[in-house]
Amino acid sequence: MSHTTVTLTSDEKRRIQAILDTLERLYPDADCELRYDTPFQLLVATVLSAQSTDKRVNMVTERLFKEYGTPEAMAALEPEELEPWIKELGLYRNKARQIVHAARMIVEEHGGQVPSERSALEALPGVGRKTANVVLSNAFSIPALAVDTHVFRVARRLGLAVTKSPEQTERVLTQILPKESWKQVHHRLIRHGRQVCTARNPACFSCELRLFCPSAQAPDDAR
């Protein structure tokens, strides 16, 4: 990621705080919507969630984790044996290969424990920066801010991070937001993006952030 430094005026700091306070009021309990009991299950669910809804992933993992909920059980499979369990999800062949190979690496190189270091996580097949951030913040309570499509879009419209890539948005957001807010902001921006500030038709007229949002006056252009 680039290392651009962001400097905020006091007005901008106040605007950001108002956005954080409003998001907290609107979505006090926003949390990870993927179901999991262990860091490994969260890792698998997050890999499965690419181009699939969390609801669909939860339906798949409810069955899958009863049989193959540990790295050891998953590592013993061939990818072709995992495919039928996840075939209703997008990209299931790729995902099956990535998950089985990641499970084998976790067993062989990390003693069966999902590593809690970013570099070791990102070395696992199928694990990019976003998935690593999800696992670090949710499974290990290590401050990290995952930027998915909702976070990228809503942060851009709100003028928090107007960038060209999720990596740049993460860089900006982690500079301007307090570390202790990163995990909740991630979940709250996702909720706002799903429920109000949707990709095609943002509901600016009923949005409680409109007073702080530079895109609010022209919702049709808020892309």
Residues classed as catalytic: 130, 148
Residue 182 backbone dihedrals phi, psi, to 5 degrees:
-55, -50
To the nearest whole angstrom, how small is the minimum distance from the Cβ of residue 150 to ligand SF4?
Answer: 11
Closer by beta carbon to ligand SF4, 1 or else 199: 199
Residue 80 backbone dihedrals phi, psi, to 5 degrees:
-65, -25
Closer by beta carbon to ligand SF4, 76 or else 196: 196
To the nearest whole angstrom, how small is the minimum distance from the Cβ of residue 176 to ligand SF4?
Answer: 16
Yes or no: say if 139 and 178 are a contact pair by the CB < 8 Å rule: no
Applying CB under 6 A, the residues found at the interface with ligand SF4 are 157-158, 196-197, 202-204, 207, 209-210, 213, 215-216, 219, 222
Closer by beta carbon to ligand SF4, 141 or else 195: 195
| Secondary structure in 3-state letters for 146-188 | CCCHHHHHHHHHCCCCCCCCHHHHHHHHHHHCCHHHHHHHHHH
What CA–CA distance (Å, rounded) separates 11 from 19? 12
To the nearest whole angstrom, how small is the minimum distance from the Cβ of residue 188 to ligand SF4?
Answer: 12
Closer by beta carbon to ligand SF4, 104 or else 157: 157
To the nearest whole angstrom, how small is the minimum distance from the Cβ of residue 75 to ligand SF4?
Answer: 43
> Got the DSSP string for 46-71?
HHHTTTS-HHHHHHHHHHHHHHH-SH
